[in-house]
Structure 1
Amino acid sequence: MSDLLERLRRRTWRMTAQRRVVAEVLDGDHVHLTADEVHARAVAKLPEISRATVYNTLGELVALGEVTEVATGARAKRYDPNADRPHHHLVCAGCGAMRDVPPSGSPPAALSEAERFGFTVHDVEVTYRGLCPDCASA
Structure 2
Amino acid sequence: MSDLLRRLRQGGWRLTAQRRVVAEVLDGDHIHLTAHEVHARAVERLPGTSRATVYSILGELVSRGELLEVSTSDRAKRYDPNAHRPHHHLVCVRCGAMRDVPPARGLPAEPPERERFGYTVLDVELTYRGLCPHCTA
Fold equivalence (TM over 0.5): yes
Deviation per CA, 1:53-87: give whole Å up to 9, x if none: 00000000000000000000100000000001100
Q: Conserved in 2, the CA contact under 8 Å of 1:38 and 1:54?
A: yes
CA RMSD of aligned residues (A): 1.0
- Equivalent residues in 2 for 1:43-54, closer than 5 Å: 43-54=43-54
TM-score by structure 2 length? 0.97
Q: Conserved in 2, the CA contact under 8 Å of 1:88 and 1:126?
A: yes
Greater alpha carbon shift after TM alignment, 105-114 vs 10-19: 105-114
Deviation per CA, 1:37-60: give whole Å up to 9, x if none: 000000000001100000000000
Deviation per CA, 1:68-120: give whole Å up to 9, x if none: 00000100000000001100000000000000000132545631001111100
Q: Residue 93 of structure 1 aligns with which residue? A: 93
Q: Tell me how many residue pairs correspond in the alignment.
A: 137
- Equivalent residues in 2 for 1:104-123, closer than 5 Å: 104-108=104-108, 110-123=110-123
The Cα shift of 1:136 comes to 1.3
Consecutive unaligned residues of structure 1, counting only runs of 5 or more, are: none
Residue 13 in 1 paired to residue 4 in 2? no
The Cα shift of 1:134 comes to 1.2
